[in-house]
Amino acid sequence: MKRARITPLKKPVVALVAIPGSKSYTNRALLLAALAGGTVRIKNPLISDDTHAMIACLRELGLHCTFVGDVLEVSGNLDKLEDRTYTLNANLSGTTIRFILALAATVPGVKVVQGRGRLNERPIAHLVESLRQLGAKIEYVGEKGYPPVRVESSKLKSGTVTMRGTVSSQFLSALLMVAPRVGELSIRVEGEQVSKPYIDMTLEAMKEFGVAVSNENYERYHVPARQMYRGEEYLVEGDISSASYFFAIAALTGSTLTLKNMNPRSLQADIRFLKILEDMGNVVSSKNGEITIEGKGVKPVSVDMQDCPDQAQTLAVLAAFAEGTTTISGISTLRIKETERVVAIEKELAKMGIRTESSPDTITIYGGNPAPARVDTYDDHRMAMAFAVAGTKLAGMEINDPDVVSKTFPNFWDALHSIGVGVEVLYENPNIVLIGMRGGGKSSVAKLLSEKLGRKFLDLDAMVESQEGMGIPEVVEKYGWGYFRDRESEIVKKAAKQKNAIISTGGGAIGRPENIAALKQRGIVVFLSAPADTLARRIDSETGKRPRLTQAGSTLEEVEAVLAEREKFYETVADIVIDDTGMGLEEKLGEVLKRLEKHRVI
């Protein structure tokens, strides 16, 4: 287990913070680009666990998602899918599993849609029922009402569908976005629609891709027939949710922070958090794609957060410092998020000596003088980032499992450090995990590390071969790449449970988000990077046969194609990146050892 120890700001600061692209808009853009066909360029996409899950599902369906610099290109044709079985794993991404489930009901093949851990405990019955009203053939694989599900339909019929609006806006967004593949579609919403701003975001994104939707007071929607998605380029605006932690830090510490890549008129739900901070006495201004908050402190408030529930954890942490009583309402949906968030908030605030009370839809915080604590994160990215805010003011805060932030904001800890907050990641018996492309030298360096440090060496490819009783080329030839990746994931889970091991991964192991999560849970990840021509030259010089990954003509062309798909993920996943251009094996080993010492791992 890792933990992050946070050292507060010594004094208020004036700083500029770069914010990544919006997760919500990135995943919408990915789905709409897939539905549009052709090639769509997505600029400023967020690269995180949640968007990786969406990309992995689209790739499983045969779409191409590759990076050209910082632009993500999506291309392919959903109508040309093979009629076979597809396993679509959304990992821990709620948006992905809802969006992909709706898409799965409109494309060929048998699709098994599933998640991991807590995601398989989050309800999807209302979306399944709505899709069934349109003719979808969907069966639950396990417990009724929850993932995984098996989808056998390949098209939906036009018509009118009824859907409850009280559980999740993602159900409605999923139906709306696949509507052009259905034909004419009307949706009637029963009950009060929660999280309306997320519906606005969906409608805005659909409009950008050329599809119009009528919205009658969030009670009835109509998508006319004979509309098609069209688009060549889409720009993702900055993520207000990610920015909100720095808005909160400014308020709590009296700092002045300016967030770049922001849209002050954004439809993102969490833009409403700025009004709450103004009500607490802080000053907010904006210009030229930037939002600045001048921190003046925090005071108790009473606020309904139904339209921006993801900020309830952050507000609860601020409320712990505000003398008096803060009441947050409209948070019933928090109970079916990554964790039961209301319970998690209460448990962790109690560790800090803060009393709370809650009902199904509210939480009351009696703020004043919080004490430092070691906070559990419950596999929930927002718990980690919200309670990290406390550490910028209060000495002694520690956050367990800090890597959970990779779900939506992988460089969160670096961003904290950039404004002067101390962040020290502490490791307990960590594995050292080497990732990278074929020809990157992972196995060679791992063997030398094992000898140098006296630790167990695990080669994941060799473990797969031992388990299967044949080489990887034979496994792929006999059973296919899907079978190999499944066996690889099984081996990853076993290896990740080790302590103090040196682990060399296969080049494609990071292709599945669940593999990344397992390896990072108890490991520090080192990416051995090299240019495509160097990798190709090394591969061509090897005597062993490796299975082809693409239909490219030459080794160099194949390496370039695969690197375009993987490199951004390697960089995002890694704790340490080493460019070994021009290095010999001993030099490479020396650089790895030096960087591991810097991280206090050895």
CA distance 86 to 124: 19
Report d(CA 13, CA 18) in Å as an integer. 16
Catalytic pick among 310, 403, 575, 580? 310
Q: State the Cα–Cα distance between residues 531 and 27, nearest whole angstrom.
A: 29
Q: Which amino acid is at 195?
A: S
- 3-state helix, strand, coil split of the chain in percent (to 5) is 45, 25, 35
Residues 6+ apart with CB under 8 A from 420: 9, 10, 13, 15
Q: Which amino acid is at 307?
A: D
Q: Which residues are annotated as a binding site for Mg(2+)?
A: 443
Residue 355 in contact with residue 327, Cβ under 8 Å?
A: no
**Contact predicate 429/522, CB 8 Å:** yes
Which tokens hold the place of 505? 């991964």
Asked whether the beta carbons of 430 and 524 are under 8 A apart, the reply is yes
Residue 266 near residue 308 (C-beta atoms within 8 A): no
The annotation places the binding site for ATP at 439-444, 546
Q: Which residues contact 275 (CB under 8 A, 6 or more apart)?
A: none
Binding-site residue set for phosphoenolpyruvate: 23, 94, 122, 170, 341, 382, 407
As a three-state string, the secondary structure of 111-158 is EEEECCHHHHHCCCHHHHHHHHHCCCCEEECCCCCCCCEEECCCCCCC
Strand-strand pairing, 290-294 and 283-287: antiparallel
Contacts of 552 (CB under 8 A, 6+ apart): 558, 560, 561
310 annotated active-site = yes
**Catalytic (active-site) positions:** 310
